[in-house]
Structures are given as C-alpha cells and as structure tokens.
Amino acid sequence: MEQNQMDQETLSCSICLDLLKDPVTIPCGHNYCMNCIKIHWNEEDRKRIHSCPQCRETFIPRPVLKKNTVLAALVEQLKKTALQAAAADHCYAGPEDVKHKLVEPSKNLQENICSKHDKLLEIFCRTDHKCVCSLCLTEEHKGHDIVSAATERTERQRELEERRGNIQQRIQDREEDVKLLQQEVEAISRSADKTVEDSEKIFTQLIHLLQKRSSDVKQQIRSQQETEVSRVKDVQEKLEQEITELKRKDAELEQLSHTEDHNQFLLNYPSLPALSTPIKFSNLEYLPLGYFEKVTAAVSELRDKLQDILRLSWTNISLMVTEVDVLLSQPGSEPKSRAGFLRYSCEITLDPNTAFPCLGLSEGNRKVTWMNQRQSYSSHSDRFTDWTQVLSRESLTGRCYWEVEEGGNMSGFGYNDKSWVLTCSHSSSSFTHNSIWTSISGPVSSRVGVYLDHRAGLLSFYSVSETMTLLHRVQTKFTRPLLAGFHFHFLPCSHLSAKHQRVKVQPD
C-alpha cells in the first residue's frame, strides 16, 4: 500500500493533483497532464515567456508538447493496481485477515465518518448522490448504483476540468473581443484624428483660396484705379494748360482794351491769335457717384452663393459624421441591406504572381481579363500554370465584404476541403466544395456579393441588384486566413475571341 501511495504521488500532476492524463515531460524534467500545462501556458501567452509551475524555469519559444508513452504506461498500470486493491477492499475478510487503507490526513475527519455506522465514507452512491460507508450498502443503499469515492472524484474532476476549459476558452474569447474592441477604439481615434487633420488642411486651402481671390480683386481694383486716375489726370493737365493759356490771352485783351490811342489799338488788334478749339467733355456732368459698385455687388453675390453651398455641404458633412456607427452585432449575424454589407467592405486587389499567363490585370490589379496572348509575367512559384485562375493579394480575416462584376463565365476551385466556389453563368449557377456540387436555383445578376465572417465560420454569396438575394451560405470552421480567388472556364490563349471574358472586383 505504501508503494502504491508513493507511485500515485510520483505519477500525479502538480497542477490538478490527480493522476497524470496524457502525461508530458517539459524541458526542465517535470511532468504534467497535457491539458493542464497547455492551459497554464495559454495564460502566459501574452507574456511570450512560458514557465514551469514547479521550478519556474522559463522557455522561449513555447515548447512543443509530446506524450510521454512510458509515463502513460506506468499510470495505466497504477490504475489497474488501484482497482484491484479497491475490489479486494469489498471482499469479506477472513478470520485471519486484517486490512488497512491509508488516507490523506483530513482537518474535518468527522465529516468523512458515517454518523450511523462510524465508518469511513469511501463509497459514492450515484442513485442518491451522496457518500456512504460499506455498511450503508447492506441497508438503505442496497442495490443502488455505487462506485468508489475516488472513482467518482476522478470522473467529476474530469468534468470539472472540462468546465474549466470551457470557462477559460470563453475568457480567452472575451479577452480577444476586448482586444478587438480596443483595436476598434484605436482605429476610430486614428480615423477621427486623420479626418480632423485632413479637414483642417482642406479648410485652410479654402481660406487661402478666398484670401488669394480677395487679394486678386484688390489688386485688380487698384490697377484699374491707377489706370483711370492716370487718364483723368492727363485730361486734367490739358485743361489746366488751356486755362492758363486763356488767362494769358484774356490779360492781353484787357491790356489792349485800355489803350487810349485809337491808332495803336487798331494796329495791335489784328495781331491777336485765334482761340484754339476747346476740349469737349460732354459727359462730365453725368459722372457716377461710385465707379466700382458693380464689383461690390458681384462679390456680395459670390458671398451669398458660397453661404448657400456651405449651408448645404455642412448638412451633408454633419450627416456623414453622425453616420459613423461602430457595429457591435453578435458574430454570425449578417447585415440586412447592401448598405449594411458595405460597412464591412474591403479592398481586394489581385496578385500578379498568381495569375495564369493568359490573364491580364488592369485598373490597379482590380480587374482581370482573358487576353488572346500570354502576358509578360516573371517566373514565380505561386503562379497558376494548369488552372486559369488568380488569387487576391490580401489575406482575409474578421468580417469582410466585396463584390464581383463578371462579363463571362466564372468557375473552378472547390475540388478540395480548403476552397469554396460559386460558379456563375448566364444559364445556370452552382456551388462547389470538396468536389461536392450543389445546383443553385433562381437568376443571378451580373454582380455577386461575398460576405465573410471568419471567426463565425460564415461564408455567404449574394446576388446584388436592387435587393440582396442570398444564393448560398456556408457554415464551417476556418483554421487560417482566406484568399479570394477568380477562375475562368479554360480556353487556350490562341483560341480566344476579341470579346474577352472579364471579372472586375468592385471598389465598393
């Protein structure tokens, strides 16, 4: 019995204090249940340093766990020995037999003693869900479903660990949700900061533009003022010269008029010069009071128009600001409208390194077209050479939505358990996964929407028109990020007509 007790202590997990289940030995030499040490290290993942719960030795990176088959065999042998000992405990003792069983010291020993028979409560009655002694089995618990308390504890301990595992998994999921929400907060803040910065730049540009226009108007007015004043001053100078000349002649005439000698007066009178033709300004008496009033009126009209534009634009800007709404719907729930799907829109670009040689990419690698000759792609290990298809550059996780507009046939993929494909043509449509083909009834528009909820394992295809029509939905479990793929029905490059088939990933 002492040997069994020592073996049980040696082969017990220091985390759950039970016999090792799927025993593993970590680099420092200590042994644990595989699930126990995994849970312990999962809790340390954030620190990126993993340690031994006993000796505290740390390991970087996280060690790979492998089952210790020798320890597993020893644990199974110990279990068999314990079961045999338990069976022997239930045998009736002979006159010469004296049996003893060692148990761990208990602080509440009296609670483990049967109050009726004064014996150890070492048997569990599953029928009545209570611990009983061996004599109870011959009375009120006779014929009930019974097991040893240790066996029941082992099973309940296993259930407890499963529940703990579920709780810890939920904790991990919720912590991941909190992390995602924190990322959402940071993304909102980054977007808001960038929008404020961009808006300030735009408004500053508008202010500078208005200031430039104000300066231009001022400069034009001053230039026109200078021109017109110069013209007026030229005429004013000529008039002043004419006045001076007329005053001189008037003085001569006045002097001649005072000549008393008649002969002298008559002699000098013919020598007086004739008056020059006067400069005529027939419109001077109708001079306007304000020469630039029309400019003021035009600027006022511009101001009124700008105010109207700003008033309308401000309403639109305010609506755009209030439309910012973080979606907090549960994983697996889908939007109800195209506008709802577009809130998860992601930009898909095609990877030239994967494109079949006869596929041409354009519009920033967002459009793929059949070409009637091979393209000048460089050699690459990721390129499709046997399948007429191309993959996206982006790896897709989280919630994503994109739309595909096709002008020909789409097909391919779907021949393994790692790809899902919707095949569309003008006459029929189908869905394929793992070589299982499913026909899709109903018309399909030329635009197909694809919605992915990676965490929920949800992949949905929609026909996009005035409404969103569900074509097919997949519920599965994705173990890695996905790539969007596009495939054409195979035609040799030399056989393609001028009407190339094309597939375009919409920027929406």
Q: By C-alpha distance, which of 202, 223, 198, 172 is closest to 44? A: 172
- The strand pair at 359-362 and 130-132 is best described as unpaired
The domain limits of the chain are 2-67, 338-491+499-507
Q: By C-alpha distance, which of 1, 6, 63, 77 is closest to 32? A: 63
User: Residue 20 in contact with residue 75, Cβ under 8 Å?
Assistant: yes
Residue 441 phi, psi (nearest 5): -90, 160
Residue-averaged pLDDT of the chain: 80
150-187 pLDDT tens trace = 888 898 999 999 999 999 998 988 898 888 888 888 88
Q: Is the peptide bond before 105 cis (omega within 30 degrees of 0)?
A: no
Question: 338-491+499-507 sits in which CATH class?
Answer: mainly beta
Which of 328-332, 375-379, 447-451 has the lowest average pLDDT?
328-332
**Is the pTM here over 0.85, yes or no?**
no
The yes-or-no verdict on residue 468 having pLDDT over 60 is yes
212-259 pLDDT tens trace = 999 999 999 999 989 989 988 988 898 898 899 889 888 888 888 888
The yes-or-no verdict on residue 264 having pLDDT over 70 is yes
Q: Report how far residue 75's alpha carbon sits from residue 31's, in angstroms, rounded to the nearest whole number.
A: 12
Q: Which overall architecture, per CATH, does domain 2-67 show?
A: 2-Layer Sandwich (3.30)
pLDDT band for 491, please (50, 70, 90 cuts): very low
| pLDDT (mean) for 85-105 | 51
pLDDT of residue 389: 87
User: Residue 468 in contact with residue 453, Cβ under 8 Å?
Assistant: no
